[in-house]
Structure 1
Amino acid sequence: MNYSSSYSYSHTVASTYSQSSSQSSTQSSTQSSQQQTTGISLNATALRSPHILSVAIAGDTRLTGKVMVDGVEVKKLHASQTSFNLVPYLTKGDNKVEIVGEYRPVSSKVAIKLSGPGTQISQQVSGNGKLRQTLIITVR
């Protein structure tokens, strides 16, 4: 089974911003899955401005999936690009944002971005056809 993944991060540091990241991968003879978790911390006042979550695919890639916040589906993924303001779904404390789905062909790339004032996170996934990204957003 062949898979590769690449992640790129860029961020503008604000006084209340921190980021941590962990990655785990598992492989078996029948299925490959990969999950990445990224944590960020935001001041509640930063949420007065939009924080846009974007999921984009290139060319003739097919993507099906969803975005969930704390276990509740807030957006379906099925177009070449899905972008929306994440702020209405965030509350004080820890918010678990899960981006899950499948894409074909498996050699395609899926780009995930979160951008807002003082926050820029970019991730790129490719190589196994499974999309499993988690953002833990702590609002203080």
Structure 2
Amino acid sequence: MKITHSVTGLPVNVAVALPDEVKTHTGNVFSRTANRFHSASSLFLTSLKSSPSFRHSLMLCALMLVVVAFPHIANATDLLKTQQQDASDTFGLQSSVMRWIYFAEIIISVVGFIKTRNPLVFVGLIVVLLVTRAFYGMVG
């Protein structure tokens, strides 16, 4: 506890939170910051190096670095290019899948009209015809 004097000059017992001596810092701001960072990160890094997830992440980063450094390793050929005709035959504009979708939509529209007696059910048929024609045209 430090004794200080009030404005009147009488001593007052007051606890002061400040230290009595001033700390002097050694080195410049950059070296002090680097020392603090190194001491804080060394404990963190030693705990990280022993974890299996860190090893997996390190291996993944190394693999990505290899792919970036040697891009000819990552080249690939289109393996499904020969299957393009089969895909357009199956899912194209003249395909059997499209025919079955149209048949199913017609049956669903007729059943829906019989149950509800609402002619707007057939709007769904038109929407399905237009949407499938557009999307299957993109595929084929």
TM-score when normalising by structure 1: 0.16
Greater helix share, structure number: 2
Greater strand share, structure number: 1
Rg bigger for which structure? 2
TM-score when normalising by structure 2: 0.16
Higher RCO (CA-CA < 8 Å; seq separation 6+): 1
